[in-house]
Amino acid sequence: MKALIIAAGNGERINHITDGKPKPLLDVLGLTLIERAILSAKKAGINEFVIVLGYKGRAIKKYLGSGEKHNVKIEYVYNREWKKENGVSVLKAEKAVGETFVLLMSDHIFDYRILQNLIKKSRSKCILCVDRSPDAYIDMEDATKVRTDGKKIIDIGKDIKKYDAVDCGIFLLNKEIFKAIKESVKRGETSLSAAVKILAKNNKIEVFDIKNLFWLDVDTKKDYVQAKKLLLKNLIKQTDGPVSRHINRKVSTALTKLFLKTNTSPDTISLISLFLSVISCHFFVLGNYFSVILGGIMAQLSSIIDGCDGEVARLKFKETKSGAFFDAVLDRYADTLIIFGMVYGFWTLTGNLLVWIAGFFALSGTLINSYTSDKYKAEFCKPFVSRKMPVGRDARCFIIMIGAFLNQVFYTIVLLSIFTHIENLRRAGFVKLKNLNPGGIKKKI
């Protein structure tokens, strides 16, 4: 299935911040708006695109080319009448798209899962994605409102008074849309909404609720600022521990913006994080209070930057399994080095041999801690999520920093040792108990 992307308009309300480029080429956290549309669709499983160009179309075509850079196929259609409303742009692509296709706007950002869910739907009717509870940042004055009755559309337009949903600018369409546009153009109406109204009258379109997934039409500078906020907010992962969620992500997303500007690759960031752990180890080995504090700060910084590689990868649609694997292996070495530094430094300073025993079990607890969560994912093919006592790398590094500030290296190691092992045993028990009754008779085949 192809995706049709409308990139013909002149985006006059935002042109003052685009440096003379057309709006689809506006950079939002390392990717242009239109690249975000393309790569979101690609992540949802779509690899062929038709882009309708108009205002400054040549610049867009020059920038995207045939799509090779993003490993997709792009065709272009020109709409000389781009000053008319967007229905005309869709009509120009009639011959370029197949029986059914997805329609996207080049200036909307959205969660790729909206599209992923949409293309699973039956393709017998056209479908318009709607948001039934739009967030406060959606500009309701400019939004296309929809009045629905269940899945049916009763009315649609920017100026209707009664409505219960907002048009998200994401469609699953078939050839019926072209008939409808032609009909509405004859009547002198060139907007897509006018055509949708005709489809609705003939019972040829339904709405699809996007639920709580995000989308945003980037029309103004305010929207642009909001778009960046939204994308960063959506980097928080379900598996994030409390320290990561409430502290690290706030710093890491700020750093991620920097990494995006300098075009640093996720793997390089993983290596920077490991390097900070090496420095942390070095400071801990020195053993004196001042060094220990620096060691603690470096450990926490390493943990924070450890979040950036994934953030950059997700924001640039460059997430790879091998990248995640590489990062995870480096993290385990970072863990090893930091604990080794603490043990070695404390031992040379005090000669207390107990720290080796405590360190041995802190290391074991720490590594088995990571092991259990990934072993769980390996066996059950879903991440281990538990809100009760989520002990991950974020919590461990944070505790190490606090311990360093308090100059309590030994007790920090003992604490790490105790609480990682308790968590590991809890996980083993949790999995055993939860799976004592693995469900009744399986479904029929």
Residues that bind its own copies (CB under 8 A): 1, 45-48, 71-73, 119, 267, 320-322, 324-326, 328-330, 332-333, 336, 340, 343-344, 353, 356-357, 359-361, 363-364, 367-368, 370-372, 374-381, 424, 427-428, 431-432, 434-435, 438, 440-442, 444-445
**Nearest residue (CB) to its own copies, 100 versus 291:** 100
CB of 27 to its own copies, least distance (A): 25
Output the smallest distance, CB 113 to its own copies, in A. 15
How far apart, in whole angstroms, are the C-alpha atoms of residue 87 and residue 91?
6
**Which two tokens mark 59?**
């610049």
Nearer to its own copies (CB atom), residue 98 or residue 152: 98
**β-pair partners for 2:** 48, 101
- Least CB distance to its own copies at residue 312 (A): 17
Instruction: Tell me the C-alpha distance between 80 and 82, whole Å.
Output: 6
* Structural contact between residues 147 and 162, judged by C-beta atoms closer than 8 angstroms: yes
Is residue 63 within 8 A of residue 23, CB to CB? The reply is no
Say how many residues make up the chain.
445
Q: Based on CB atoms, which residue is closest to its own copies, 78 or 430?
A: 430
CB 287 within 8 A of CB 343: no
Q: Which two tokens stand for residue 157?
A: 């337009």
- Least distance between its own copies and beta carbon 286 (Å): 17
- Smallest distance, Å, CB 2 to its own copies? 10
Distance, CA of 260 to CA of 311 (rounded, Å): 10
Closer residue to its own copies in complex, CB, 148/372: 372
Q: How far is the CB of 376 from its own copies (least distance, A)?
A: 6
In the chain, the N- to C-terminal Cα span, in Å, equals 30
Residue 350 or 435: the one with the smaller Cβ distance to its own copies is: 435
Considering beta carbons, is residue 137 or 361 the nearer one to its own copies? 361
Q: For residue 313, give the nearest of 223, 415, 420, 237 by alpha carbon.
A: 237
Q: Cβ closer to its own copies: 126 or 343? A: 343
Please give the C-alpha separations between residue 352 and each of 276, 337, 347, 359, 360, in angstroms, as whole numbers. 27, 20, 5, 12, 14
How far apart (Å, rounded) are the C-alpha atoms in residues 123 and 205?
A: 10
DSSP 382: S
Least spacing, CB of residue 324 vs its own copies, in Å:
5
